[in-house]
Amino acid sequence: MRELRLKGQGLTALPRAVFDHADTLELLDVSGNALSELPPDLHRFKRLRILFASNNRFTELPRVLGECPALEMVGFKANAIAHVPAEALPQPLRWLILTDNAIATLPDSLGQRPRLQKLMLAGNRLATLPDSLRQAPALELLRIAANQFQRLPDWLPALPRLAWLAWGGNPLTAQPEARALAAASARAIPAEALALGERLGEGASGVIRAATWQHAGAHQAVAVKQFKGRVTSDGWPRSEMAAALAAGAHESLVPVLGPVQAGAGPRAQEGGVASGADHDADDGAHALVLARLPPGTRALAGPPSFDSCTRDVYPPGLRLQASEALALARQVAGAMARLHARGLVHGDLYAHNLLRCGPRAWLSDLGAAAFLPPAQPALHPALRALDVRAFGVLLDEWQARTAPAAPPPLAALRARCSAPADQIDIGFAEIEVMLS
């Protein structure tokens, strides 16, 4: 046995029978139980690579994790963890998920894990990061949204491989978020004017449904994104709403028509799928009305897998013509130039957030988007450059899938976008002009 999932079994202790597979087990998922500790001999699982223990009752990250010789992915989301001992961090650590806990400090040894690539810390009580993280050579994705940061560490954009950073929902962005939400209240759409239909998709922050909007004597086909009522891996729903509403209109951004007025939430269409507990939405308290995209619109790729960690998973056999890759890059650059001009950083520029229908593409999902911190203007260019670096990753992925070869403009751009963010000398406005 290589994988064992014991989710939602009401466990208060790990069954000893699990140790019958200590020589072979690589993935263990005990999420959704009532566990508060792990066995002291967990290190007997010599091949255990992935351990999920989210939605349990841990108050401390178990120290025994640090003794597991192969453990590289650790997920303890939505517990009550307030203490992370240095001994709990396994040496091969690559991906650490501590979202939605009560952590105020992290051990300095966190930065001494040379393979650390993905660090998920949204929804805690952090106001600082360990200084040793500035030496993290492999860190590419960092989520520190919905914490207590008054300022971002000045050294963050200098991390050599950092490309995806989320910091919304902290005190440092409270004012611009509040202004964006207040400004949008005038175009709020009454919940009773919306009739929900089938589910179109679901992400970390919420569910998107087809809907019909009755207004001005007509019925308009739209989509409604209903946010989950808790902190997600990217941060607070209200932070995503603020960013989406502040972004404004652009041909390569999914159009946002307005927020839904807080209340009972949109009603389900007769014969449709009802809103409610099946998607854990906050009863319409956080919802956006979006334009309905054409039938057949699909994400260009799937999200990262356990093995790929920070790289999207593309459909097998996907090939792009040189003209297609160039058109995609131009549309993404235009959308990103718009966000940056509005004082926003996307923070999650991935192919799985790029929706495509024929030659048209739309950048979606502003869950990790954040306003540039007003009190740190000197940091703004480097923070924007993180998105440029993520764009370079996209170009690299597309180059490997373009036949017969990527067009020269993209190959040249890829090199300019691959430096550490504090050394990138090009922005999306210039990139859009170059590609046009």
DSSP collapsed to 3 states, the chain: CCEEECCCCCCCCCCHHHHHHCCCCCEEECCCCCCCCCCCCHHHCCCCCEEECCCCCCCECCHHHHHCCCCCEEECCCCCCCECCHHHCCCCCCEEECCCCCCCCCCHHHHHCCCCCEEECCCCCCCCCCHHHHHCCCCCEEECCCCCCCCCCCCHHHCCCCCEEECCCCHHHHHHHHHHHHHHHHHCECHHHEEEEEEEEECCCEEEEEEEEEECCEEEEEEEEEEECCCECCECHHHHHHHHHHHCCCCCECCEEEEECCCCCCEECCCCCCCCCCCCECCCCCEEEEECCCCCCEECCECCCCCCCCCCECCCCCCEEHHHHHHHHHHHHHHHHHHHHCCEECCCCCHHHEEEECCEEEECCCCCCEECCCCCHHHHHHHHHHHHHHHHHHHHHHHCCEECCCCHHHHHHHHHCCCCHHHCCCCHHHHHHHHC
For 176-291, CATH number?
A: 3.30.200.20
**Residue type at position 188:** A
**Residue type at position 137:** P
Domain limits of the chain?
Answer: 1-139, 176-291, 298-435
Architecture of domain 1-139: Alpha-Beta Horseshoe (3.80)
Which pLDDT tens digits describe the chain residue by residue (436 residues)? 999 999 999 999 999 999 999 999 999 999 999 999 999 999 999 999 999 999 999 999 999 999 999 999 999 999 999 999 999 999 999 999 999 999 999 999 999 999 999 999 999 999 999 999 998 999 999 999 999 999 999 999 889 999 999 999 999 999 999 999 999 988 899 999 999 999 988 877 889 999 999 988 889 999 999 988 788 889 999 999 999 999 999 999 999 999 998 664 555 443 333 333 333 333 346 899 999 999 999 999 999 998 999 999 999 989 999 889 999 999 999 999 999 999 999 999 999 999 999 999 999 999 999 999 999 999 999 999 999 999 999 999 998 898 877 677 787 888 899 888 888 999 999 999 999 8
Structure token digits, residue 21? 């597979």
7 marked ligand binding residue: no
The residues with which 253 forms a beta bridge, in sequence order, are: 363
**Residue type at position 43:** H
Q: What CATH topology corresponds to 298-435?
A: Transferase(Phosphotransferase); domain 1 (1.10.510)
